[in-house]
Amino acid sequence: MDQINLAATSPVVRTPSGDLRGRREGPANVFRGVPYAAAPVGDLRWKAPQPFAPWDGVREAADFGPSAPQAGPSDVADIVSIGGAPEPTSEDCLTLNIWAPAEITLPAPVMVWLHGGSNRMGAGSLPFYDGTAFARDGVVLVSVNYRLGQLGFFAHPALTAEAAPDEPLGNQALLDQIAALEWVRDHISAFGGDPANVTLFGESAGGLDILALMTAKRARGLFHKAIVQSGGGWLPATPLKAAQRRGVATATALGQIAPAPSALRAIQPERLAAIEGAFGPVIDGRLLDRDPISAFARGDFADVPLMIGVNSGEDSLLNYGGGLKRFGKLIKPNVALARLYPQANVDEEQLIRLGFRDFAFAAPARWIASRPRQSKAWLYAFDYVEEARRETMPRAAHAAEIFHVFETLDARPDGAPPATEADRAVSAAMHVRWIDFARTGAPGADWPAYVPADDAWMVFGDTPGGDVRRGWWKAALDHHGRRGGLLILLLRGRDRLRTLFSAKVVR
């Protein structure tokens, strides 16, 4: 192959860490499996990510790196069908992937994607996160792998005792995400990206993590806009003591009754990944000094343009892991709930499902959008079901919007029927909204910024590009908002007590 063709098919970029050789794929120069931090193995397990050593020569970046060790709900035989990653997996997972426009005349906006998966499964390499459509439209897309499950959110008294006084605890995944953003800040200009125009976006657990990062001082200035897709907003973070109790229970289940840190780090990663749990941000007093909900309530968050939204069928999450039974104990179907959801026809399961969607996702998203800020926020609801699914799927399932945002309808993992032209029209128009937001900080002149008195949502349904609707699900969301208000008061009270106690200890 002559040198001209080699340059066209295998682009090489020079970064501060060393040269990388990627692949030209259609409109994109693609670089896969790029390390943004050292492998968190051995003594580095559960430590903050450390810099990856620079290399000499040209490093190949043709293949994705391994996904993080992971496991899904015990009642799901194949987690790939619900967004989990196939093998290979490895603790050496701190890599990212870049799709850059092959032809760039000006620094391009950058979008950094945090995948979902309950912080226990998933990977930035999954085919429906392919960034080709973004590169085609002039955006540099970066997808990130980060530690998951017991490796991503783990605290234990033995680890606390060995940590330096200011070393964050229990938030390894958030620290990975911050390290990836720092890598983007320092390296992305080599790929044609603009480090001063970075949009952080993510779905489900990725969106939840973004809300936490918006309240973390260490992450300030690393991103300039944010998009939260189905990230909720009222799921409380875990206090450090509770996280340590969970860590002790995990170690005990694996035969480590009073382990030294070295014994914990000797446990095989597959055994750790298999231990189920709820994984998310930890209030450690170092990275996060209070619950992110409390921080949003007091206005202590990154004041950047924000898009936030939900899907009409978020309750599809209840289909796994006994979720319907568990949440049914919290949402009691009754006459008052039936009045809020006449479409449920007093069907108890449907009342639980709609109550879950609105209390866990829609009401907190609206609350986050309504926080006083200098910048603007935009609120959306995704309510489109592909034409071939409408007889069996009444609402847009959790994560269904991803395939439209990325224009990857043909890469869905669940054996979906082929997309129609109508499906693709909705997808193309929705994708443009995300692109416009990344470029300009606004998703289109016809989409009004959210103001509580106006209560304007962009509803993505059969109309490509969406329809503005005011008071979407208002009665139900007002009801759940009152319940959420009590939760917020409790969390703020808990944080105040923690602050007072810490002050007394210092004195």
CA dist., res. 430 & res. 43, Å (int):
45
What the block records as the tokens of 9 is 């098919």
Non-local CB neighbours of 375 within 8 Å, separated by 6+ positions: 303, 304, 305, 306, 441
Residues 6+ apart with CB under 8 A from 336: none
- 193-203 vs 108-114, strand pairing mode: parallel
Assess whether the previous peptide bond of 88 is cis (omega < 30° from 0): yes
Question: Of the listed 314, 386, 401, 407, which one is catalytic?
Answer: 314
Is 314 among the catalytic positions? Answer: yes
Rounded to whole angstroms, the Cα distance separating 460 from 402 reads: 13
Active-site entry in 398, 404, 431, 480 = 398
Beta strand segments in 126-170, E:
140-144
- Tell me how far apart the alpha carbons of residues 40 and 377 are, in angstroms, rounded to a whole number: 36
Tokens matching residue 101: 């426009």
58-60 β-sheet, strand order: 12-15, 18-21, 58-60
Q: What angle do CA 335, 336, 342 make, to 5 degrees?
A: 80
* Residue that has been written with the tokens 């990212």 in this structure: 96
Closest CA to 223 of 181, 259, 264: 181
In angstroms, the CA 61 to CA 287 distance is 32
Using CA atoms, how far apart are residues 380 and 365, in angstroms rounded to an integer? 9
Coil/strand/helix, residue 174: helix
Residue pair 321/392 in contact (Cβ under 8 Å)? The answer is: no
In 10 A of CB 504, how many CB atoms? Answer: 8
Task: Name the active-site residue from 67, 118, 204, 312.
Answer: 204
Residues with catalytic annotation?
204, 314, 398
